[in-house]
Amino acid sequence: MPRAFVLLNVDLGSEEEVLQEIKTIDGVIEAHRVYGVYDTVVVVEMDSTEKLKEVVTWKIRRLSKVRSTLTMIAIK
């Protein structure tokens, strides 16, 4: 199954709200708040690369308090 690691920067003070929202998205298998350059790390897994890209593009990146993302699609 295709898997991606998505790093998020979110609006200051909205870290927990975004984390809880992310966890409800279909295909998200893990989501964690982290310290450092990024605020949240998300692991997404879908049954096709196309569906994986749709989740990242149309669900995660469109959340109102997400400022920026960095997506890394895992290879086997």
Write out pLDDT tens, residues 7-27. 999 999 999 999 999 999 999
pLDDT band at 76 (very low <50, low <70, confident <90, very high): confident
Integer Cα distance of 39 and 8 in angstroms: 6
The pLDDT tens digits for 39-65 are 999 999 999 999 999 999 999 999 999
Please name the CATH architecture into which domain 3-30+37-73 falls: 2-Layer Sandwich (3.30)
DSSP alpha helices (H): ranges in the chain?
Answer: 15-22, 49-54
Q: What is the pLDDT of residue 70?
A: 98
CA distance 26 to 59: 9
This prediction has a pTM of 0.94
